[in-house]
Structure 1
């Protein structure tokens, strides 16, 4: 029987402000996450919308609420700026393609893997040479998750949540891990989601569950105040991976510097 391994743990990754002038390059061990505080970029939405193509602008208009339209414009344009910086490409040449599960990728630069997640006031973007999945969640006080437990967690996981001192944090910790992992796999939330491991330690994965034989890692981390994150990527922790969290500076000057990185 084909099996692979999944290692799950916590990371003490700390966010630092992105230094102006940093060259956008990736080593094979790099997993870089960018944090975007969306309200800080609202005033730049008109400037940022120039980086979106016609289908993206049409998609933005389909959002019913203005706040959702604004958030989409911000995180999609910054995603394209980041991808342009890493590929040394003009932003107008950054076109996202989608696989059968609607996971975006760059057909023009298949070596660059990326994933995006957004929740309330934050968005996050992960880039790597490795297949990567990312999920961030706001720890909502009003979200009633109890009725969902039987559908998305197995018996052991449900008991962990029900017996936890902080049930809400435990729920979001386990949920973000599952979500990040299936995004890394390129799977949607399907009937197998309930059986995706999400507890600390090393797990053996059957091929029929994940449909590949690669090994994987998942790390939980504190993303921001009242936000939890999880990132998943290929490989096991036998080598020293460089897991970094950068906060995108909230100025158009810093954002536009990304467009100049293609000249390096």
Structure 2
């Protein structure tokens, strides 16, 4: 996989504003949704779930996991409905063979979601895009998985960083957002995938752009897209 793409990534500090639907012809829109604060609203929209989703919800044991699943299923319909000007209950999703959701008949509407802890995040664009958010866990033993999931250059970046755990979760979200943007999904040889900057520069391909930022002080979030210098807007729902 490292033979046919190039990567550029940076860190930014977003300015969040209240959610509103705006045109996004050459923009990337990022929406963050606090699960706890939106749980009451989400619970009132259980009717938006499909029958299989309701069945899956009933099988989830932990209440926290139920809340996350319910929020992700409901809010992706509500947000997509706002952008497409569709009734929320008319939003239905299809899936690629790698289980990336999309809306049929909307070739210029791309979205992706991620959740971790108390946050759900969503990216909306006219271009293929991906997003990943991960809560930074200070006590996480990343050395137990790093050799299987990270390229040697990525491992070097992590161990050279003063805050190795924070660096681990940043690279993890960068890698996940790229895999989700490209539609590849999880692959067996994650350690072969090198996400370091300009790891494989190719003159004839637009590089994948990745932006990383901190949410709520202890979450890394990364977004990935293949647009040229889009304006990025950040919304609180």
2:226 paired with 1:246? no
Provide the TM-score with structure 1 as the length reference. Answer: 0.82
Provide closer, same or farther for how the CA distance between residues 59 and 25 of structure 1 changes in structure 2, counting only shifts above 3 A: farther
For these two proteins, the number of residue pairs brought into alignment is 233
Residue 58 (structure 2) aligns with = 61
TM-superposed CA distance for 1:222, in Å, is: 1.3
Residue 187 (structure 2) aligns with = 190
1: CA distance, partners of 2:165 / 2:115: 19
Residue 233 (structure 1) aligns with = 225
SS at match of 1:222: strand
Structure 2: runs of 5 or more not aligned: none
8 Å contact 2:7–2:198 — kept in the other structure? yes
8 Å contact 1:24–1:85 — kept in the other structure? no
Misfit runs of 4+, over 6 Å: none
The alignment's C-alpha RMSD in Å is 1.9
8 Å contact 1:36–1:75 — kept in the other structure? no
TM-superposed CA distance for 1:123, in Å, is: 0.4
2: CA distance, partners of 1:24 / 1:53: 28
TM-superposed CA distance for 1:47, in Å, is: 0.8
Provide the TM-score with structure 2 as the length reference. Answer: 0.90
Match runs of 1:66-145 below 5 Å:
66-145=63-142
Provide, for residues 162-215 of structure 1, a one-character-per-residue CA deviation record: whole Å limited to 9, x for no partner: 23210111101111100100110111221342232333x323268xxxxxx653
8 Å contact 1:112–1:129 — kept in the other structure? yes
Match runs of 1:157-176 below 5 Å:
157-176=154-173
Which of 45, 48, 70 is the aligned partner of 2:45?
48
Residue 25 (structure 1) aligns with = 23
Residue 35 (structure 2) aligns with = 38
Which of 213, 219, 223 is the aligned partner of 2:215?
223
Residue 16 (structure 1) aligns with = 17
